[in-house]
């Protein structure tokens, strides 16, 4: 399911740009049953733009 743009303004969303140009983020996930669901994702974005999903949590 495509995640809405409002995910970036959600109170549980965390996003940090590091000095080396890489980023860390954590955000809730929307599902067809819940908006948002009790799932969240953690991810890292390297300076070259590669995205790595590091964890999925049940809140």
Angle at 38 between CA 53 and CA 9, to 5 degrees: 70
Half-sphere exposure of 56 (CA within 13 A, CB side): 6
* pLDDT at site 35: 82
* pLDDT at site 47: 97
* pLDDT at site 59: 72
CB atoms within 10 A of CB 38: 11
Query: Which residues form the domain of 9?
Result: 5-58
Total number of domains in the chain: 1
User: What are the mean pLDDT values of the chain's consecutive 10-residue runs (59 residues total)?
Assistant: 82 93 94 86 97 93
| Contact in structure between 53 and 43 (CB atoms under 8 Å) | yes
Threshold 0.85, pTM exceeds? no
Tokens of 15: 């996003």
């Amino acid at each position: 399911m495509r995640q809405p743009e409002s995910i970036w303004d959600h109170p549980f969303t965390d996003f940090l740009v590091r000095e080396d140009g890489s980023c860390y983020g954590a955000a809730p996930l929307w599902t067809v049953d819940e908006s948002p669901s009790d799932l969240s994702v953690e991810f890292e974005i390297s300076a070259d733009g590669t995205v790595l999903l590091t964890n999925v949590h049940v809140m």
